[in-house]
Protein backbone atom coordinates (compact mmCIF):
# COMPACT_ATOMS: atom_id res chain seq x y z
CA UNK A 1 0.00 0.00 0.00
CA UNK A 2 2.64 2.63 0.91
CA UNK A 3 4.54 1.97 -2.32
CA UNK A 4 1.48 2.76 -4.42
CA UNK A 5 0.88 6.12 -2.80
CA UNK A 6 3.63 8.06 -4.62
CA UNK A 7 2.57 6.54 -7.96
CA UNK A 8 -0.98 7.82 -7.49
CA UNK A 9 0.24 11.25 -6.58
CA UNK A 10 2.64 11.30 -9.49
CA UNK A 11 -0.03 10.17 -11.90
CA UNK A 12 -2.47 12.71 -10.57
CA UNK A 13 0.07 15.49 -10.91
CA UNK A 14 1.12 14.47 -14.39
CA UNK A 15 -2.33 14.23 -15.98
CA UNK A 16 -3.29 17.88 -15.62
CA UNK A 17 0.14 18.89 -16.94
CA UNK A 18 -0.17 16.60 -19.94
CA UNK A 19 -3.67 17.62 -20.88
CA UNK A 20 -3.69 21.17 -19.53
CA UNK A 21 -3.64 22.97 -22.90
CA UNK A 22 -6.26 20.84 -24.64
CA UNK A 23 -8.36 20.57 -21.49
CA UNK A 24 -8.38 24.31 -20.88
CA UNK A 25 -9.24 25.00 -24.51
CA UNK A 26 -12.21 22.63 -24.34
CA UNK A 27 -13.40 23.68 -20.88
CA UNK A 28 -12.85 27.43 -21.13
CA UNK A 29 -12.10 28.32 -24.75
CA UNK A 30 -15.32 27.03 -26.31
CA UNK A 31 -17.64 28.56 -23.67
CA UNK A 32 -15.70 31.84 -23.99
CA UNK A 33 -16.13 31.87 -27.78
CA UNK A 34 -19.82 31.06 -27.40
CA UNK A 35 -20.31 33.75 -24.75
CA UNK A 36 -18.52 36.41 -26.82
CA UNK A 37 -20.48 35.32 -29.89
CA UNK A 38 -23.78 35.56 -28.05
CA UNK A 39 -22.99 39.03 -26.74
CA UNK A 40 -21.90 40.10 -30.23
CA UNK A 41 -25.19 38.84 -31.68
CA UNK A 42 -27.05 40.83 -29.07
CA UNK A 43 -25.73 44.18 -30.34
CA UNK A 44 -24.88 43.46 -34.00
CA UNK A 45 -27.02 43.99 -37.09
CA UNK A 46 -29.88 45.70 -35.26
CA UNK A 47 -31.28 48.40 -37.54
CA UNK A 48 -33.15 50.58 -35.07
CA UNK A 49 -33.79 53.43 -37.51
CA UNK A 50 -36.41 51.58 -39.62
CA UNK A 51 -38.24 49.89 -36.78
CA UNK A 52 -38.02 52.22 -33.82
CA UNK A 53 -40.86 54.54 -34.78
CA UNK A 54 -43.37 51.70 -35.30
CA UNK A 55 -42.18 49.85 -32.21
CA UNK A 56 -42.22 52.96 -29.99
CA UNK A 57 -45.65 53.95 -31.22
CA UNK A 58 -47.43 50.60 -31.34
CA UNK A 59 -45.70 47.88 -29.33
CA UNK A 60 -47.14 46.68 -26.04
CA UNK A 61 -44.20 44.93 -24.40
CA UNK A 62 -46.36 43.21 -21.77
CA UNK A 63 -47.54 40.81 -24.45
CA UNK A 64 -43.95 40.22 -25.57
CA UNK A 65 -42.95 39.50 -21.97
CA UNK A 66 -45.77 36.97 -21.61
CA UNK A 67 -44.66 35.31 -24.86
CA UNK A 68 -41.11 34.95 -23.49
CA UNK A 69 -42.38 33.35 -20.28
CA UNK A 70 -44.30 30.81 -22.39
CA UNK A 71 -41.09 30.21 -24.37
CA UNK A 72 -39.20 29.25 -21.20
CA UNK A 73 -41.93 26.73 -20.34
CA UNK A 74 -41.55 25.19 -23.81
CA UNK A 75 -37.84 24.55 -23.13
CA UNK A 76 -38.60 22.94 -19.77
CA UNK A 77 -41.29 20.72 -21.31
CA UNK A 78 -38.82 19.71 -24.04
CA UNK A 79 -36.27 18.79 -21.38
CA UNK A 80 -38.89 16.72 -19.55
CA UNK A 81 -39.78 14.93 -22.79
CA UNK A 82 -36.17 14.15 -23.67
CA UNK A 83 -35.56 12.91 -20.12
CA UNK A 84 -38.19 10.19 -20.65
CA UNK A 85 -36.26 8.97 -23.70
CA UNK A 86 -32.95 9.06 -21.85
CA UNK A 87 -34.32 7.14 -18.85
CA UNK A 88 -35.57 4.43 -21.21
CA UNK A 89 -31.89 4.04 -22.19
CA UNK A 90 -30.89 3.80 -18.48
CA UNK A 91 -29.42 7.30 -18.63
CA UNK A 92 -30.77 8.96 -15.49
CA UNK A 93 -30.00 12.60 -16.22
CA UNK A 94 -31.62 15.06 -13.83
CA UNK A 95 -34.26 17.54 -14.99
CA UNK A 96 -31.83 20.33 -14.10
CA UNK A 97 -29.14 18.96 -16.41
CA UNK A 98 -31.52 18.24 -19.29
CA UNK A 99 -33.03 21.72 -18.95
CA UNK A 100 -29.56 23.29 -19.04
CA UNK A 101 -28.78 21.16 -22.11
CA UNK A 102 -31.85 22.53 -23.90
CA UNK A 103 -31.04 26.13 -22.92
CA UNK A 104 -27.48 25.59 -24.11
CA UNK A 105 -28.58 23.98 -27.38
CA UNK A 106 -30.45 27.03 -28.60
CA UNK A 107 -27.72 29.38 -27.38
CA UNK A 108 -24.97 27.44 -29.19
CA UNK A 109 -27.10 27.31 -32.35
CA UNK A 110 -27.16 31.11 -32.38
CA UNK A 111 -23.40 31.11 -32.93
CA UNK A 112 -22.78 27.72 -34.59
CA UNK A 113 -25.87 26.49 -36.48
CA UNK A 114 -26.78 22.83 -35.78
CA UNK A 115 -23.83 22.43 -33.39
CA UNK A 116 -26.14 22.90 -30.41
CA UNK A 117 -27.54 19.38 -30.80
CA UNK A 118 -24.01 17.96 -30.76
CA UNK A 119 -23.16 20.09 -27.73
CA UNK A 120 -26.17 18.92 -25.69
CA UNK A 121 -25.44 15.30 -26.64
CA UNK A 122 -21.86 15.66 -25.48
CA UNK A 123 -22.87 17.46 -22.29
CA UNK A 124 -25.33 14.75 -21.21
CA UNK A 125 -23.03 11.91 -22.35
CA UNK A 126 -20.13 13.35 -20.35
CA UNK A 127 -22.28 14.19 -17.35
CA UNK A 128 -23.83 10.72 -17.16
CA UNK A 129 -20.79 8.81 -18.52
CA UNK A 130 -22.97 7.39 -21.29
CA UNK A 131 -22.33 6.46 -24.93
CA UNK A 132 -22.26 9.57 -27.10
CA UNK A 133 -23.86 7.83 -30.07
CA UNK A 134 -26.67 6.40 -27.92
CA UNK A 135 -27.47 9.82 -26.49
CA UNK A 136 -27.17 11.29 -29.97
CA UNK A 137 -29.66 8.73 -31.25
CA UNK A 138 -32.19 9.80 -28.60
CA UNK A 139 -31.62 13.41 -29.64
CA UNK A 140 -32.25 12.45 -33.28
CA UNK A 141 -35.51 10.81 -32.19
CA UNK A 142 -36.40 13.99 -30.33
CA UNK A 143 -35.84 16.04 -33.48
CA UNK A 144 -37.64 13.51 -35.67
CA UNK A 145 -40.70 13.90 -33.43
CA UNK A 146 -40.54 17.65 -34.16
CA UNK A 147 -40.29 16.98 -37.90
CA UNK A 148 -43.34 14.71 -37.82
CA UNK A 149 -45.22 17.31 -35.77
CA UNK A 150 -44.40 20.05 -38.28
CA UNK A 151 -45.52 17.84 -41.17
CA UNK A 152 -48.84 17.09 -39.45
CA UNK A 153 -49.35 20.76 -38.59
CA UNK A 154 -48.52 21.75 -42.17
CA UNK A 155 -51.06 19.29 -43.54
CA UNK A 156 -53.73 20.43 -41.09
CA UNK A 157 -53.01 24.10 -41.76
CA UNK A 158 -53.15 23.66 -45.53
CA UNK A 159 -56.56 22.00 -45.18
CA UNK A 160 -57.87 24.69 -42.84
CA UNK A 161 -56.43 27.70 -44.68
CA UNK A 162 -56.42 26.26 -48.20
CA UNK A 163 -58.65 28.96 -49.68
CA UNK A 164 -56.59 31.89 -48.37
CA UNK A 165 -53.27 30.31 -49.35
CA UNK A 166 -54.36 29.42 -52.88
CA UNK A 167 -55.82 32.90 -53.38
CA UNK A 168 -52.46 34.46 -52.60
CA UNK A 169 -50.46 31.94 -54.65
CA UNK A 170 -52.75 32.46 -57.64
CA UNK A 171 -51.75 36.13 -57.60
CA UNK A 172 -48.02 35.32 -57.29
CA UNK A 173 -47.92 31.94 -58.97
CA UNK A 174 -44.90 31.65 -61.32
CA UNK A 175 -42.21 30.96 -58.72
CA UNK A 176 -44.36 28.57 -56.74
CA UNK A 177 -45.51 26.72 -59.87
CA UNK A 178 -41.89 26.02 -60.86
CA UNK A 179 -41.12 24.74 -57.35
CA UNK A 180 -44.19 22.49 -57.44
CA UNK A 181 -43.14 21.11 -60.83
CA UNK A 182 -39.66 20.30 -59.47
CA UNK A 183 -41.01 18.59 -56.36
CA UNK A 184 -43.53 16.60 -58.41
CA UNK A 185 -40.93 15.48 -60.96
CA UNK A 186 -40.59 11.66 -60.96
CA UNK A 187 -36.92 12.04 -61.96
CA UNK A 188 -36.13 13.86 -58.71
CA UNK A 189 -37.67 11.15 -56.53
CA UNK A 190 -36.29 8.31 -58.68
CA UNK A 191 -32.81 9.82 -58.32
CA UNK A 192 -33.14 10.10 -54.53
CA UNK A 193 -34.33 6.50 -54.27
CA UNK A 194 -31.46 5.31 -56.49
CA UNK A 195 -28.89 7.15 -54.34
CA UNK A 196 -30.29 5.65 -51.11
CA UNK A 197 -30.38 2.15 -52.63
CA UNK A 198 -26.79 2.47 -53.87
CA UNK A 199 -25.53 3.61 -50.45
CA UNK A 200 -27.40 0.78 -48.71
CA UNK A 201 -26.04 -1.81 -51.20
CA UNK A 202 -22.49 -0.51 -50.73
CA UNK A 203 -22.70 -0.72 -46.94
CA UNK A 204 -24.05 -4.29 -47.12
CA UNK A 205 -21.49 -5.47 -49.66
CA UNK A 206 -18.53 -4.10 -47.73
CA UNK A 207 -19.89 -4.71 -44.22
CA UNK A 208 -16.77 -6.70 -43.25
CA UNK A 209 -14.46 -3.82 -44.11
CA UNK A 210 -12.96 -2.28 -40.97
CA UNK A 211 -14.14 1.26 -41.69
CA UNK A 212 -17.58 0.20 -42.93
CA UNK A 213 -17.95 -2.04 -39.87
CA UNK A 214 -17.24 0.92 -37.60
CA UNK A 215 -19.79 2.99 -39.48
CA UNK A 216 -22.40 0.23 -39.12
CA UNK A 217 -21.64 0.00 -35.39
CA UNK A 218 -22.19 3.75 -35.17
CA UNK A 219 -25.50 3.42 -37.02
CA UNK A 220 -26.57 0.60 -34.70
CA UNK A 221 -25.84 2.75 -31.65
CA UNK A 222 -27.77 5.60 -33.21
CA UNK A 223 -30.69 3.26 -33.89
CA UNK A 224 -30.63 2.11 -30.26
CA UNK A 225 -31.14 5.67 -29.11
CA UNK A 226 -33.63 6.37 -31.88
CA UNK A 227 -35.80 3.25 -31.57
CA UNK A 228 -36.30 3.68 -27.83
CA UNK A 229 -39.16 6.04 -28.61
CA UNK A 230 -41.15 3.07 -29.96
CA UNK A 231 -40.68 0.79 -26.94
CA UNK A 232 -40.06 3.08 -24.00
CA UNK A 233 -42.41 3.29 -21.01
CA UNK A 234 -44.46 6.44 -20.35
CA UNK A 235 -45.24 6.97 -24.04
CA UNK A 236 -48.48 8.67 -23.02
CA UNK A 237 -46.61 11.19 -20.88
CA UNK A 238 -44.12 11.70 -23.73
CA UNK A 239 -46.98 12.39 -26.16
CA UNK A 240 -48.60 14.79 -23.69
CA UNK A 241 -45.33 16.68 -23.34
CA UNK A 242 -45.07 16.85 -27.14
CA UNK A 243 -48.45 18.59 -27.20
CA UNK A 244 -47.23 20.85 -24.37
CA UNK A 245 -44.03 21.81 -26.23
CA UNK A 246 -45.78 22.68 -29.47
CA UNK A 247 -48.74 24.20 -27.69
CA UNK A 248 -46.31 26.59 -26.01
CA UNK A 249 -44.67 27.39 -29.34
CA UNK A 250 -48.04 28.27 -30.86
CA UNK A 251 -49.26 30.23 -27.83
CA UNK A 252 -45.99 32.15 -27.76
CA UNK A 253 -46.64 33.47 -31.27
CA UNK A 254 -50.39 33.90 -30.68
CA UNK A 255 -49.77 36.05 -27.60
CA UNK A 256 -47.12 38.07 -29.46
CA UNK A 257 -49.69 38.97 -32.14
CA UNK A 258 -51.47 41.12 -29.55
CA UNK A 259 -48.38 43.27 -28.99
CA UNK A 260 -49.11 45.34 -32.15
CA UNK A 261 -52.51 46.82 -33.11
CA UNK A 262 -52.48 45.64 -36.73
CA UNK A 263 -51.36 42.10 -35.94
CA UNK A 264 -54.05 42.10 -33.27
CA UNK A 265 -56.52 42.94 -36.04
CA UNK A 266 -55.26 39.94 -38.01
CA UNK A 267 -55.78 37.63 -35.01
CA UNK A 268 -59.24 39.04 -34.27
CA UNK A 269 -60.48 39.23 -37.86
CA UNK A 270 -59.14 35.90 -39.12
CA UNK A 271 -58.92 34.05 -35.82
CA UNK A 272 -56.34 31.50 -34.74
CA UNK A 273 -56.10 30.21 -38.33
CA UNK A 274 -54.02 33.21 -39.42
CA UNK A 275 -51.66 32.73 -36.48
CA UNK A 276 -51.47 29.01 -37.27
CA UNK A 277 -50.45 29.76 -40.87
CA UNK A 278 -47.67 32.09 -39.69
CA UNK A 279 -46.67 29.56 -37.04
CA UNK A 280 -46.34 26.68 -39.51
CA UNK A 281 -44.43 28.81 -42.01
CA UNK A 282 -42.05 29.95 -39.29
CA UNK A 283 -41.62 26.36 -38.05
CA UNK A 284 -40.71 25.21 -41.56
CA UNK A 285 -38.26 28.10 -41.87
CA UNK A 286 -36.31 26.78 -38.87
CA UNK A 287 -35.12 23.96 -41.13
CA UNK A 288 -33.06 26.51 -43.06
CA UNK A 289 -29.45 26.48 -41.77
CA UNK A 290 -29.00 29.80 -40.00
CA UNK A 291 -28.03 31.18 -36.62
CA UNK A 292 -31.04 30.31 -34.51
CA UNK A 293 -33.44 30.85 -37.41
CA UNK A 294 -32.54 34.55 -37.62
CA UNK A 295 -33.51 35.75 -41.10
CA UNK A 296 -35.65 32.87 -42.43
CA UNK A 297 -38.01 33.16 -39.45
CA UNK A 298 -38.75 36.84 -40.08
CA UNK A 299 -39.31 36.28 -43.79
CA UNK A 300 -41.75 33.44 -43.00
CA UNK A 301 -43.74 35.66 -40.62
CA UNK A 302 -43.77 38.54 -43.12
CA UNK A 303 -44.97 36.19 -45.86
CA UNK A 304 -47.67 34.77 -43.57
CA UNK A 305 -48.94 38.24 -42.67
CA UNK A 306 -49.05 39.16 -46.37
CA UNK A 307 -51.71 36.48 -46.85
CA UNK A 308 -54.03 38.48 -44.57
CA UNK A 309 -52.97 42.06 -45.30
CA UNK A 310 -55.62 42.97 -47.91
CA UNK A 311 -58.32 43.74 -45.37
CA UNK A 312 -55.93 45.26 -42.78
CA UNK A 313 -55.06 48.84 -43.90
CA UNK A 314 -51.54 49.80 -42.88
CA UNK A 315 -50.23 46.24 -42.59
CA UNK A 316 -47.37 46.87 -44.98
CA UNK A 317 -44.26 44.76 -45.40
CA UNK A 318 -42.37 47.29 -43.27
CA UNK A 319 -44.93 47.00 -40.48
CA UNK A 320 -44.89 43.19 -40.67
CA UNK A 321 -41.09 43.31 -40.66
CA UNK A 322 -41.07 45.48 -37.54
CA UNK A 323 -43.28 42.94 -35.77
CA UNK A 324 -41.22 39.97 -36.95
CA UNK A 325 -37.86 41.56 -36.13
CA UNK A 326 -38.97 42.63 -32.68
CA UNK A 327 -40.38 39.20 -31.78
CA UNK A 328 -37.27 37.42 -33.10
CA UNK A 329 -35.00 39.99 -31.48
CA UNK A 330 -36.60 39.52 -28.06
CA UNK A 331 -36.55 35.74 -28.48
CA UNK A 332 -32.86 35.90 -29.41
CA UNK A 333 -32.19 38.08 -26.37
CA UNK A 334 -33.92 35.49 -24.18
CA UNK A 335 -31.83 32.67 -25.69
CA UNK A 336 -28.65 34.66 -25.09
CA UNK A 337 -29.59 35.28 -21.45
CA UNK A 338 -30.49 31.60 -20.97
CA UNK A 339 -27.23 30.61 -22.66
CA UNK A 340 -25.14 32.82 -20.40
CA UNK A 341 -27.04 31.45 -17.40
CA UNK A 342 -26.42 27.88 -18.61
CA UNK A 343 -22.67 28.22 -19.07
CA UNK A 344 -22.36 30.08 -15.77
CA UNK A 345 -24.33 27.32 -13.99
CA UNK A 346 -22.19 24.60 -15.60
CA UNK A 347 -18.99 26.42 -14.65
CA UNK A 348 -20.14 26.85 -11.03
CA UNK A 349 -21.16 23.18 -10.90
CA UNK A 350 -17.73 22.07 -12.12
CA UNK A 351 -15.98 24.23 -9.56
CA UNK A 352 -18.10 22.77 -6.78
CA UNK A 353 -17.31 19.25 -7.99
CA UNK A 354 -13.60 20.05 -8.08
CA UNK A 355 -13.69 21.38 -4.52
CA UNK A 356 -15.67 18.36 -3.25
CA UNK A 357 -13.32 15.94 -1.42
CA UNK A 358 -12.81 12.62 -3.22
CA UNK A 359 -13.12 9.35 -1.33
CA UNK A 360 -10.19 6.95 -1.37
Tens of pLDDT, residue by residue over 208-229, are 787 777 777 777 766 665 666 7
User: Residue 11: its pLDDT value, please?
Assistant: 37
User: Residue 357: its pLDDT value, please?
Assistant: 64
Query: Are 124 and 130 within 8 A, CB to CB?
Result: yes
Query: Are 234 and 141 within 8 A, CB to CB?
Result: no
- What is the residue-averaged pLDDT of the chain? 80
Domain definitions of the chain by residue range: 62-353
User: Residue 359: its pLDDT value, please?
Assistant: 52
pLDDT under 70 in the chain at which residues?
Answer: 1-48, 165-185, 221-228, 289, 356-360
Query: 213 by DSSP, 3-state: which?
Result: helix
Tens of pLDDT, residue by residue over 169-182, are 555 555 555 555 55
How many other C-beta atoms lie within 10 A of the C-beta of residue 137? Answer: 26
How many other C-beta atoms lie within 10 A of the C-beta of residue 155? Answer: 11
Half-sphere exposure of 196 (CA within 13 A, CB side): 6
Amino acid sequence: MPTNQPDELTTGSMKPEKHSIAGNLIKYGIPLVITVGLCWLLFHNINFSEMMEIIRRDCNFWWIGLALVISIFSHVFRAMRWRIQLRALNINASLWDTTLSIFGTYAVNLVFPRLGEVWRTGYIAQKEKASFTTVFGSMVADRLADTVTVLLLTLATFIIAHKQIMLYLSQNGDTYRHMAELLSSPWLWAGLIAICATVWWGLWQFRHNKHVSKLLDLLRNLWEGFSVILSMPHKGRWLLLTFAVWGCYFMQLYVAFFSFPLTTDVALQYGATAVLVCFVLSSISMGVPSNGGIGPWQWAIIFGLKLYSDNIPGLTEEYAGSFANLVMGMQTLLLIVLGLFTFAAISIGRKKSALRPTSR
